[in-house]
Amino acid sequence: MTFTMPHQNPVASTAVRLGPLPFCSLLLLLALLAAGCQKTFFQVDDPQLKPIQEMIETQLPKGSTTERVTTFLSVRAYELQTPEKPGTLVAIIRHIDLQTVRPVTARVTFYFDANGRLNAVEMTRTANQPIE
């Protein structure tokens, strides 16, 4: 009498051996994607501008009114410049980098929709001017 082993599916046995690893990897990937999508409504590449970005995101979230942005800038005595386009505010924001203890200056343009609500921010680094 001959006994034969039933044929096993190699794909099925691999999945059983991996256990919860594929499921955990999928959850981690989804969590990273969700975090990346919700973090910010504008992005800067210069690491020294990150503190200014964080301050704006915290104090002036997307949807803030023109009045709120103007008040925020004037209370802190940030220089306002003449905007190039209607529906925008342009400010020069100076910040002290705590790691290098040096000033960092950015030209920040705030863009508003037709209802006067903040919908985008653009920031570029500018040369530091002496404090007057």
Res 2: pLDDT: 58
Report which of residues 72 and 6 the model is more confident about: 72
Percent of the chain, pLDDT > 90? 45
Does the pLDDT at position 10 exceed 80?
no
Round to whole Å and give the CA distance between 56 and 72.
Answer: 9
Round to whole Å and give the CA distance between 46 and 7.
Answer: 59
Beta carbons of 52 and 95 less than 8 angstroms apart: yes
Round to whole Å and give the CA distance between 46 and 25.
Answer: 31
Res 11: pLDDT: 52
Does the pLDDT at position 120 exceed 50?
yes
Report which of residues 63 and 46 the model is more confident about: 63
Res 36: pLDDT: 44
Res 63: pLDDT: 95
Taking the CA atoms of 37, 41, 42 and 47 in sequence, report the sign of the dihedral they define. negative
